[in-house]
Chains A and B, each alone.
Chain A
Amino acid sequence: MNAHHKSMIAVNGLVKVYKGVTVLNIPELNIARGESFGLVGNNGAGKTTLFRMILDLVLPLEGEVLLQNENVRQSENWKQFTGSYLDEGFLIDYLTPNEYFNFIGSLHGLHKAEVAERLRKFSDFFNDEILDKPKYIRDLSKGNQNKVGIAAALLIEPQLLILDEPFANLDPTTQIRLKNLLRELKEKRQLTMLISSHDLNHVTEVCDRIVILNKGQLVDDIRTSADTLKELEAYFAV
């Protein structure tokens, strides 16, 4: 498989400083195509900042992010193959979930019928709480809003998926369904995933590679194995 050798994300000399404090400093980070990459770290470690820089929402002081070898600041191409959901700011709250999915689909040239077809795969995940309900997204619970955002990110069948804390606010059943869904996508579609989580259990179950971020620095880069969870717990038990 040639695809494995190709770079999906390349981070070079990325530095971000807020009010004199270096909040992120990553000299080099490469994520290959098809890799499932987990990012763990305490609050303020810089996880969300890194995600935002990958999505060109935060301007780095120095350095660059390449997605499929193209600088995100110079090219718009990454938007076509990247599905992302970081927080509620990625939702349009006065739309119904159906309208939101149709809107996102239309940006990728999908017709209503194609969107509906693709959404069928998520019926378990949605648990009948999302689709065809006369409710605006702003009136949904946090957990259900989360589901809408994740599904919209997956709807476009991305090559790269970026999710910030996807398991937060989800009920236990949905957490398990989401894990199954992500594992299935990884195996069937060679999806590259970038997931952050506070929950060490989830992240070790879904990801092949886990990186620990602490105060903006990469501290450890681990290939997931049977001992990974213990290693991580040992690191965070202070």
Chain B
Amino acid sequence: MPGKGAPANNPIFCMLNRILSHQWKEATRAAAWQNHLVMNIIMGIVLFFMVLNLGVLGFFLHKILEAAVPGQEVVLTFNKAIIYYLGIDLVLRFFMQQVPVLAVQPYLHLPVKKSKLVHFVLGKSVLSFSNVLPLLVALPFAFQAVLPAYGLLPALAWSAGFISLVLFNNFLNLYLKRQLTLKPVVFLLLAAGLAGLAGLEYQGIFRLSSLTENSFATLLAQPAMWFLLPLLPVVMYTFNYQLLRRNMYLSELESATASVTNVHEFAFLKKLGAAGNLLALEMKLIWRNKRPRSLFISSLFMVAYGGVLIIMKDPQEENVPDSIMLIFAGVLTTGACMLYYGQYLHSWDANYFDTLMTKNISPYQYYHSKFLLFIGMCTIALLLSLGLAILDWRVLPLNFALYLYNIGVNAFVVLLLGVYDAKKIDLTKNAAFSWQGLGVVQYFIMLPLILGPVLLYLPFYMLEQSDLGLTMLAALGITGLVFHKPILKKLAKRLKSRKYKMAAAFRAA
């Protein structure tokens, strides 16, 4: 057992160092990284400008707030806004932040304490960019506004409080995501609880905002209370720790006692021939593997997104589809499932890509099955979105037009972009530890899918012909559906020339 050595050659420290270097190698030696070098450079530049912009924003935020809310002290304005920031931050994190990954299995048989591995996985998440970015705004603000008005100690206490809440959000998000894979019911309860809090805030029944406002006011008045807010992330960290520690062996245990879930063999799918068989296969893929299943479930939540935008709209405004934002929301409402799942179009099949290429399946049949799957996903989302009509019936034409656009245009774009993503996704292993997921790069891929219809609609909107704009989007979709055969054939040809590269990348991983 490693004892307490000198810090320089402390074995635990060395071990962590080793694991970190393994992780770095894993990232930089991955086929996906090396194939997307240009993409990575662009990402780097974008990130650099983001950092620069946020820093500048933080530096001048007090002037902006002064102009925006005159007659109120800027620090108080900021304090009031904190809770709303945290709410938006949590939603963004849920869809964008990657859960840190460590394949623990290779380390379990080595003399490394399991608790250390868990601490490592959790500690790594603190280094995420999503934790640094808010501080780029808040800390210059603390320096520019809080420090001159209240003095050094209150400014430090205020900063500590803000950092604590950012970390709290970080760990809360990890907890939510892990519960989503481990116990969807717990996740649903937590998500409903948070949505309930947001609802109470919105209705003005219970104001969480006054709670944070007051606690930051207290911090400024009594900097000695600085240690109270950091308790929040500590508690959340402990929850995460317990969850991971308990589930470390989960994947191994599960396979040992695996019970086979029977999926109903839909008779009508058999009638569709090879494409139907592939579709039935893909449904088993989603149902039996944690990663695609949780992605599928969480993307269904996007249907609610359209509803949120409708609630937030100005009640005075008459014509709902007259807003570009709603086109954006409409694409996601009926298409999120397809877009999220389709980002990893071939990655899901990575384990058995060779099978699909050598058994009696033509590339056309393969794509045809994917196309049918997308239609199915969009249709499910459309049916769910009918519930939104209770809030405002005018979303019906919007959703239906974008449903047609999604299956008639976007479905093909997803297939078109899919061949360039050759990243192998491990469907099963270390389910509790890895949730390779919605990273920022994937959002770049999604841009044309979401911006496309918005740009097509924009001229009609500016000419105040928004109904015609919607009709045009729907007509494009119908055209795509009518000509799906030749389009799929063209796409299949491209798959035929790209498949060698893809197969090699899938095999290498």
Chain A residues within 8 Å of B, Cβ to Cβ = 55-59, 73, 76, 79-80, 82, 84, 86-96, 99, 103-104, 106-108, 134-136, 138-139, 156
- Do residues B258 and A139 form an inter-chain contact, with CB atoms below 8 A? yes
A180 CB → nearest B CB, Å:
26
**CA A107 to CA B256, docked complex, whole Å:** 31
B355 with A57: CB separation less than 8 A: no
Report the separation of the CA atoms of residues A134 and B256 in the bound assembly, to the nearest whole angstrom.
11
- A-chain residues with CB within 8 Å of residue B358 when the two chains form the complex: 55-57, 79, 82, 84, 90
A91-B352, A136-B260 as given contacts; A56 in contact with B357, CB under 8 Å: yes
Q: Known interface pairs A92-B355, A138-B428. Does A79 touch B260 (Cβ–Cβ under 8 Å)? A: no
Contact present for A86 and B354 (CB under 8 Å): yes
- Which listed residue, B285, B354, B500, touches A90 by the CB 8 Å rule? B354
Q: Mark B350-361, 1 if CB is under 8 A from A, else 0.
A: 011111011111
- Name the residue of chain A whose CB is nearest to the CB of B351: A93
Taking the complex as formed, is B362 at the interface, i.e. its CB lies under 8 A from any CB of chain A? yes
Query: From residue B124, how far is it (CB to closest CB) to chain A in Å?
Result: 28
Do A135 and B260 have beta carbons less than 8 Å apart? Answer: yes
List of B residues within 8 angstroms of A91 by Cβ: 352, 355
B residues with a Cβ closer than 8 A to A are 255-256, 258-260, 270, 274, 277, 281, 284-285, 288-289, 351-355, 357-362, 427-428, 496, 499-500, 503-504, 506-507
Q: CA separation between A84 and B504, bound complex, in Å?
A: 18
Question: Are A94 and B285 touching (Cβ within 8 A)?
Answer: yes
Residues of B contacting A86 with CB < 8 Å?
A: 354
Residue of B nearest to A134 (CB): B260
On chain B, the residues within 8 Å of A108 by CB distance are 360
Closest 6 CB pairs of A and B: A59-B500, A89-B354, A107-B360, A134-B260, A79-B360, A94-B288
CA distance A93 to B258 in the complex (A): 13
Interchain CA distance A96-B281 in the complex, whole Å: 12
The distance from the CB of B263 to the nearest CB of chain A, in whole angstroms, is 9
Contacts of A55 in B (CB 8 A): 354, 357-358
CA distance A57 to B360 in the complex (A): 14
How far does the Cβ of B361 sit from chain A's closest Cβ, in whole Å?
6
29 contacts between A and B (CB under 8 A): A55-B358, A57-B357, A57-B503, A58-B500, A59-B500, A79-B361, A80-B360, A84-B358, A86-B354, A88-B351, A89-B351, A89-B354, A89-B355, A89-B507, A90-B352, A90-B354, A90-B355, A91-B352, A91-B355, A94-B288, A96-B260, A104-B359, A107-B361, A134-B260, A135-B258, A136-B258, A136-B260, A138-B428, A139-B256
